[in-house]
Structures are given as structure tokens and as C-alpha cells.
Structure 1
Amino acid sequence: MSLTPPRQKMAGRIGALLGIILMALSLRAAVVSVPPLLGSIGPELGFDSFSTGLLAMLAPVVFAGFGLLTPRLIRWWGLEKVLVAAVLLAVAGQLLRAVVGDVTSFLLLSAITLAGYGMGNVVLPPLVKKYFPDRLAVVTSGYVTMLAVGTWMAPQFSVPLANLTENWRASIAAWALLSAVVLVPWGIQLVRDRRRPRPDTPLVNGLVPAPPVRINPWKSPVAWGLAIFLAGNSAQTYVYFTWLPPYLSEQGLDTQTAGSMLALFAILGLPVSLLVPLWVPRLRHPIVAVLVFTAFWIAGHLGMYLSPTEHTALWVVFAGLGQGTFAIALLMMNLRSRSTYGSGVLAGFSQGLGYAGAAVAPLLFGIVKDATGGWSASFAMLGICLVVMLTGAGMINGPRKIEDGQGEAKRLGELEQVN
């Protein structure tokens, strides 16, 4: 019996496709829309250096916590209910933090907002696997691209929105609307789904629905490998988002140019997001693609350290193209699982531990710089991140799946694909 899923008509899955794309577009808005507005938010709410640093660390820390929690929620509630809960949390957090008057409340509500988006991070890969098992590469390419667009769009338009309304609070609240729209196509899709049996429900003996079998990611080399890979990759990305403008400013570039370099770095996630999901599934050994993007990271790091004020845009382009490793990590959440439940467990575990590891990188980067009085040791840390990333890449290079070695998980995962 072939385990390759038959190609299905798109007509019955339009709501799911729109819902996935819109969710991906909104996932980074809460993270990257606030920093450009801190010049207005900070004096009014009372942000200082400590609270600003705490805000910068909030996203990876909350993503880590809810990355580990969400697979259990998926097991209890199902993918769609977890998605709805994630959107409601994100919308509520964004709307409420737009009206608070102190920094503590703003941080707490930001954590609630990020909890919703952290759940959304985990839910997206298994949703793609559930509704589009026959078009994994194309749909993954679309949603990873929308992640890149959202990462660029929010900081690009946050300040103009604030200027247009003469109020930073309106700009903060506006991004909640983008999240709320996600509920519309999913509502349509859920109505369609109730009219027919769930396509991903595994059957035992062709008759009895079976609940998802427990998968223990702590005992899976694949899960550990993807978590290590994602930690090494995300650590570099968070360092660039946090330290690229101040580093370039200290080297002699003006503030506007330094900010433009960060925008260039962010938008370069777009072309690699389009390429990776279409290219990597065709490779027998995905580590080949990892090595290509690692070479870009290395060129960017070296150029930025050795010659930061000459050919700066070139070094930023190299580092920006290195972000293809993040797209590979998202793709592997489906390529290294057999079932939607396995994909959810793998996504939650790898993002939970991966973001936890990456969260400390920007902080250590600054601490090491202050302790040594220069940037050499801090840039050496990026080399360590590359070694960590390549170690994880080696662990996920083979065809092994997270369900392997999990008893009945593999068999029921295969049944899920057939049914």
C-alpha cells in the first residue's frame, strides 16, 4: 500500500490556505512593531535600559515556553481549537497593551500577546501537513515567505501609522486587526470540515477512531537535532536584530544608515523563504543546503567584523541570505515527521528548546563586549553558534522521523497518512 497522499482538490481547502497564509503574515507583528516606536512609548510608560532589554528577550523566552506546552494542547483540543485560542490571545494582548499606562502592564500584556503567537508558531507546520500533505513544499514556501513579509512589514509601517494617527497606541492596536482577520477563513474552513469526516483521523481496522499516540521528543534524536539546529540559527538572527544598528553606529555609520542595514537584513529572508521549501525536499541530503547557507553566514560575519564600514551592504546581504537555515528548520518539522501530531510535537519541542537557547545569545553578546572592551570575543560567539547549528544539521540529515522508536506511533502515523 502506498503511503503517498493522493492529490486533492484545492476547492475544499481554500479557507485553510488563506488562514495559514494570514496567520504567518501576522506572527511577527507583535515582536517587530514595537521597537521602532520605543522613542515614543519609552518616555510615556517609563521604559529604562533594563525594561527595554527585558522586552527584547521576551519573544524568544515566551516562544520557548509555549513551544513546549502547545503540543500537549494540540493533543487535548486539536489543531484548529489551539489556533483559535492563539489568535484570541494575540488579539486581546495587543488591544489591551495599547491602552495601559505603565511599563509593567505593557510587558505583561506583551507576554500574553507573544504566548498567542508562540502557539501559532507551533500550530502552523502540522496544519500544513494536515490540509496539504500533497503540496507540502509549495504551501510551506508560501507561509515561510509570509513570515518574512510580516517581519519586514510591521517595522516598516509602525511609525507611519503612529504619525498618521498622531498616537503610538493606534499603531500598536492596528496590528491586532491583522490577527483577527485570521479567524474568518478558518471559520469557513471549519464549517466545511464539519460536513465531512476529518481526513487525518487514523483508523484502526478501518473502523475505530484512534487518538494520537504519545510521542516522547526527549528520547528522539531527530527532535534534539532540530532543536539544536534551530538554536544555533536563531541565536545569530537575534544577535543581528538586536546589535547590528548599535554596532554599525559605533563603527562610524550614521543612525539612519545603520537602521537601513537592519531593514536590508530582514527583507533578505524573503527570497530564501521562496527558494528553500522548493529546493530542499529534492535533495537526498539536506545538509548540502545547510552548508550553502552557512557559507553565507560566515561571509557576512567575517565581513562585518573585519570591514564594517566598507562594503557594509554586501556583508549584510551575505548574512541575510544565511537566514535560509531558518526556512530549512521550519520545513524539517514536516519532512522529519509522518503525522500531523508528530509534526506538532516536533515543532513544539524544537522551537521550545531552540528559542530558549537563542534567547540568551543577544544578552551574552553584549555582556562579552562590555567585559572585553571590544567586539572580537562577541563575534567569536557567532562562530560557536555556527558549530552548534551544523551539529544539529548533521543529526537531522538522515531520513529518520520523530515517530521512529516510539512504538505504535510510527504505525498509526502511517495509517493517518493513508486515511
Structure 2
Amino acid sequence: MPDTSPLPLWAGRSLALFGILLMALNLRTAVAAISPVVAEIRADIPLDTLGLGVIGALPPVAFALSGLFGARLGRRFGLEPLLLAAITLMVAGHLLRGSAGSYQVLLAGSVVAFAGIGIGNILLPPLVKRYFPDRIALMTTAYVSLMAISGAVPALLAAPVAEAAGWRASLAMWSILAAVTLVPWLVVISRTHRGRRALGPDARARDTRPSSRHHTAMWRSRTAWALAMVFSLLSFQVYALISWLPRLLVDTAGVSPLAAGGYLALYVALGLPLAIVIPRIISRIADVSILVFLAITLLVIGYVGLLLAPGSLLVLWVSCAGIGTIMFPGVLTLINLRTRTTTGSGALSGFTQGIGYAVAAAGPVSFGLLHDATGGWTLPLVTLIAAALAGVVPALLLRERAFVEDEIAESLAR
């Protein structure tokens, strides 16, 4: 019987390992670097609430556009070259933000940085599939955990660095991390190029011509739609709460702004332990709908608690809402577990995250508009409850294990 045990992580792929982990460390730095130093930026650049809101809304919009086009670009140019371009965009974006002398330059730098990050979001699952098909759960755990860290560290370092060296240095310093990430991928691409040259022109042509139907027919897969729905519903809720939870708690629970910020930190921080645990659980259970139903239950408990009893057990309600996001790392894991090929993984990643982040962009806006229209927080919270309960539909679609390539082939054969 052949040996099917996993290979050591460093077995001929150590550079890819370091490259994936370094890339994950870059994927939230630009998102979290501005808000802690807004006061310092305003001292040099006119930055009103609307302007800051536009920059705050850029991440989900940029991530959605990257999701819709990233897989197609990956098919055309290759995963590694496109990742190299994404890293270059991040380096340029960080430097542009750090050199900004006007709001327009700050906005342009943010657009460039978020475009690179969005492409990186899409490419990491298929890169894990390509280099670590025997370690999908472990590698997903590692890179999702580092993504969570990449959002927390800038929030901690931005203000101290700005105080010591200025806000421009605080924003630009993340270009160093991005530049370092170029190194392993440059070596990987160089080695791959030499290897393909050794294969000869016919072999190179066969090696670099992936099928396009996995990229053009994702909508034919029930599993693809189920994952996109789960990711969309969760993204909508998370971005809404990140934007409005502190104000909601100040108004309904009577806590101070400082305490409200602490509850938001608790909500966000719960993503790290979930990233460590959930991919391994997902890879071991046959029916992943159990986790979706668990997430729905926790989310509803958290939202109902915030609606009916915000003045008591506040830690419990916020924790339930935070733990209810367990399917974020779950979906990223399933992108690889529900595809057979790297091509399919890239296509599913783009489809799922493209739709998901497009829906996420509406979260903060709709939540705020509902509050302004009603003068309270009841209807916004009811909307989140409805979004959580809507997860029952994709949960039922995920009860049976299926591969998107098989579903697409079956659909095309009809």
C-alpha cells in the first residue's frame, strides 16, 4: 500500500512555506494602520468624516473587485507571477500613503495597497492547494492566524511609531514587510522558470494551459453558491459591527467610549483562536453544516442579547457574536477541501470572496442608514438576526460533501 502520510512542511517547499506565511502577515496591515493615527494625519492633511469613511469603505470594495477578477488574472498569468504583482502593489501603496501630502494621494495609496491585498486574499487558498495539498488544514490555520495578527499588530504599533517618527513613517513602514515577502517568491518563480525550460516547449505548454471552465462556470455549482452565501452573510455582519458596535453599546448599554472600544477589541480578537481551531475541525468532520448551524445559533443569541438585555451580560453577548464568525476560517478551508485542483481552488476562491466582500461593503452603510431612519438600534439588530438566520439555506446545501468540479461537469453534461 502506498504511503499517504503528509510530507514534512520543508520537503522541497520551504520557500513557498515562508512566502505564504509572509504574505498572510501583509493582508491586513493597510486596513488597520490609519485609524490609530487619524488625529496626527488631520494635523497635516484635511480629513473630514466623509473622507475617512471613504477610506474605511475601500477594503471590502477592493477585495470584492479583486475576487471577481483575480482568479481570471491568475489563470492568464499564473499564481506566482500575479502574487508578485500583488506584493509590488502593496509596497507601492504603503509608500504612497506614507508620502502623502494631500487627501487625494492618501486615497490613491490606499486604493493601490488594498488592490494588492485583495489579490493576495484570492491567491492564498490555491497556493496552499498547489504546494501543500497534504497539509491543507494546518496551512489554512497558519495563514488565517497570521492574517488576524496582521490586523492587530498595526493597531498596536501605529500610534507609538507615529509619536516617535511621525505618521508618515507609521504608514510607510509596512512596505518593508511587503518588500521582504518578495524575496521567497522571486526565488520560487526563478526556479520554476528554470525547471520549465528544462522540460522543453511542449511540456511547458501543457504545464501552463489550465482549463477555463472552472473559472467561467462556478455559478453552476451548488457548493460554490453555498460557500459564497455563508461568506457573504458573515462578511455583512462583521463589517457592520466593526463599524457600529462601539456606538451601539454607548447608546444602548450606557458604557463609556473607552469600554465600548474594549468590547470591539474582544469581538475582533476572538478571530485568532477560531483560526487556530476551526480548520482542523472542518477537515475532520463529514457534515460541516453542523458548524454553520452552531454559528447561526451563537450569532442569534448574541444579537438578541444586545437587543433585549444590553445592560447585562454584555461580555457574553459580544463573545457569542464574535465566536459566531467561526465559518470565516471554515469557508477558507472548504475552498480547498471542496475542490480537486489548484485551478478549481483559485476559481472558487475568487467566486466566494468576490461575492462575499461585495455584500460586505453594504453592511456598514445599511446598518447606519437603518439607525438614522428609525432613530434607534432595534431594526439594525433585527436585520443582523435575519442575516444570521438566512444561513440556514447554505447550511442545508453543505450537508453532503461534494466537489465543485464534479458539480460543474455534471451541469455542463446535461
Deviates more, 1:260-269 or 1:218-227: 218-227
Counterpart check, 1:54 vs 2:65 = no
Is 1:64–1:352's contact at 8 Å kept on the other side of the alignment? yes
Q: Is the 8 A contact 1:403 1:409 kept in 2?
A: no
Are the counterparts in 2 of residues 12 and 192 from structure 1 also a CA contact under 8 Å?
no
The aligned residue for residue 174 of structure 1 is 173
- Whether 1:186 and 2:185 are equivalent positions in the alignment is yes
Alpha-carbon shift at residue 210 of structure 1 (Å) = 6.5
Q: Which residue of 1 aligns with 2:224?
A: 223
CA contact (8 A) 2:228 2:355 kept: yes
Q: What is residue 316 of structure 2 aligned with on the other side?
A: 314
Q: Is the 8 A contact 2:99 2:168 kept in 1?
A: yes
1:86-101 pair list within 5 angstroms: 86-101=86-101
- CA distance in 2: counterparts of 1:232 and 1:185, whole angstroms: 35
Q: Is contact 1:149–1:267 with CA below 8 Å preserved after alignment? A: no
Q: Which residue is equivalent to 1:132?
A: 132
Contact 1:95–1:176 (CA under 8 A) maintained in structure 2: yes
Whether the aligned pair in 2 keeps the contact of 1:152 and 1:263 (CA below 8 Å) is no
Q: Tell me what 1:239 maps to.
A: 240
Q: Are the aligned partners of 1:300 and 1:316 in contact in 2 as well (CA < 8 Å)?
A: yes
Q: Which stretch of the first structure deviates more once superposed, 211-220 or 64-73? A: 211-220
User: Whole-Å Cα distance in 2 between the matches of residues 408 and 213 of structure 1?
Assistant: 16
Matched letter for residue 294 of structure 1 = I
Tell me what 1:415 maps to: none
Deviations 1:101-145 (A, max 9, x none): 222221222111100000000000000000000111111111111
2:384 aligns with one of 379, 382, 385: 382
Distance 1:391 1:302 in 2: 21
Structure 2 equivalent of residue 25 of structure 1: 25
Letter in 2 for 1:69: F
Deviations, residues 312-337 of structure 1 (Å, cap 9, x unaligned): 22222222212211111111111111
C-alpha distance in structure 2 between counterparts of 1:282 and 1:223, whole Å: 20
Q: How many angstroms does 1:234 deviate by?
A: 0.7
CA distance in 2, matches of 1:374, 1:272: 32
Q: Show CA shifts across 1:41-98 (max 9, x none).
A: 2353222222222222111111101111011111111110011000000110111111
**TM-score, length of structure 2 as denominator length:** 0.91
Instruction: Give the Å deviation of 1:405.
Output: 4.2
Looking at structure 1, the residues matched to 5 and 341 of structure 2 have their Cα atoms a distance apart, in angstroms, of 15
Q: How does 1:283-362 map to 2 (within 5 A)?
A: 283-362=285-364
Instruction: Give the whole-Å Cα distance in 1 for the aligned partners of 2:109 and 2:332.
Output: 27
**CA-CA distance at 1:382 after TM superposition:** 0.3
CA distance in 2, matches of 1:8, 1:194: 24
Deviations 1:17-44 (A, max 9, x none): 1111111121011112212222222353
Superposed CA offset, 1:223-252 (max 9, x none): 222111111011111112101112222332
The Cα shift of 1:266 comes to: 1.3
Deviation by residue 1:304-357 (Cα, 9 ceiling, x = unmatched): 223334332222222221221111111111111111111000000111111101
> Aligned partners of 1:327 and 1:121: how far apart in 2?
12
Question: Over aligned residue pairs, what C-alpha RMSD do you find?
Answer: 2.5
**Inter-partner Cα distance in structure 2 for 1:43 and 1:360:** 31
Structure 2 stretches of 5 or more lacking a match?
Answer: none
Provide closer, same or farther for how the CA distance between residues 366 and 12 of structure 1 changes in structure 2, counting only shifts above 3 A: same
Q: Deviations over 1:355-375 (max 9, x none)?
A: 101110110101001101110
CA–CA distance in 1 between the matches of 2:105 and 2:391?
A: 36
Moved more, 32-41 or 390-399: 390-399
Distance 2:347 2:248 in 1: 38
| Contact persistence 2:232–2:360 (CA under 8 A) | yes
Q: 2:258 aligns with which of 248, 256, 259?
A: 256
SS where residue 323 of structure 1 aligns?
coil
- Partners in 1 of 2:391 and 2:39 — Cα distance? 35
Whether the aligned pair in 1 keeps the contact of 2:94 and 2:109 (CA below 8 Å) is yes
Listed as ranges, the gaps of 5+ residues in structure 1 are 411-419
Which one-letter code corresponds to 1:114 in the other structure? F
Structure 1 counterpart of 2:397, one-letter code: M
SS at match of 1:18: helix
Partner Cα distance (1:257, 1:388) in 2? 31
Letter in 1 for 2:122: V
Shift of 1:392: 2.5
TM-superposed deviation, 1:184:
2.0
- Please give the alpha-carbon distance, in whole angstroms, between the structure 2 residues aligned to 1:154 and 1:385: 31
- Matched residue type, 2:168: R
Q: Give the 5 Å matches for 1:1-16.
A: 7-9=6-8, 10-16=10-16
CA distance in 1, matches of 2:408, 2:317: 44
Query: How many residues are aligned here?
Result: 402
- Which letter does structure 1 place at the counterpart of 2:180? V
Distance in 2 (alpha carbons) for counterparts of 1:33 and 1:239? 19
Q: Does 1:212 align with 2:210?
A: yes
1:13, 1:332 → 2: CA distance? 23
Q: Which stretch of the first structure deviates more once superposed, 275-284 or 301-310?
A: 301-310
Matches within 5 A, 1:74-153: 74-153=74-153
Greater mean alpha carbon deviation, residues 278-287 or residues 145-154? 145-154
CA distance in structure 1 between the aligned counterparts of 2:386 and 2:175, rounded to whole angstroms: 38
CA contact (8 A) 2:122 2:346 kept: yes
Query: Aligned residues: percent identity?
Result: 39
Shift of residue 6 of structure 1? 6.6
Give the 4+ runs in structure 1 shifted more than 6 A: none
Distance 1:393 1:146 in 2: 27
Q: How far did residue 217 of structure 1 move?
A: 1.4
Name 2:274's counterpart in structure 1: 272
Contact 1:230 1:351 in 2 (8 A): yes
